[in-house]
Amino acid sequence: MVFHMKTTLNIDDSVMQRLREEAAHRGTTMSALVEAGLRRVLAAPEAPTQPPETLPPLPTWNSGGHLVDIDDRDALYRAMEEDGE
């Protein structure tokens, strides 16, 4: 014997709209789609809870310091001209 239970769920409007469209596209009911989705989620093995992967630190370089004050346009141009010689 199969029992069906009515229940109330709060579903985001955009999700509900997609559900309506998908049900119409597939020629089935919204209830059937929701039930199939719930069965699929409940049957899936639980995802392992792993801590987030720790990223290595970013590399750093010793730039040798500032060659010129970048706020001084004339000094910047002189430094660029000297570097090109």
User: What's the pLDDT at 85?
Assistant: 59
User: Which tokens hold the place of 32?
Assistant: 């059937």
Query: In terms of residue numbers, what domain contains 36?
Result: 13-43
Residue 67 resides in a domain: no
User: What's the pLDDT at 44?
Assistant: 82
Residue 70 resides in a domain: no
State pLDDT tens for residues 50-60: 777 888 888 88
Residue 24 resides in a domain: yes
User: Which tokens hold the place of 4?
Assistant: 């069906």
77-83: Cβ within 8 A, 24+ apart: none
Number of domains making up the chain: 1
Buried b (16+ CB within 10 A) or exposed e, 46-55: eeeeeeeeee
User: What's the pLDDT at 57?
Assistant: 87
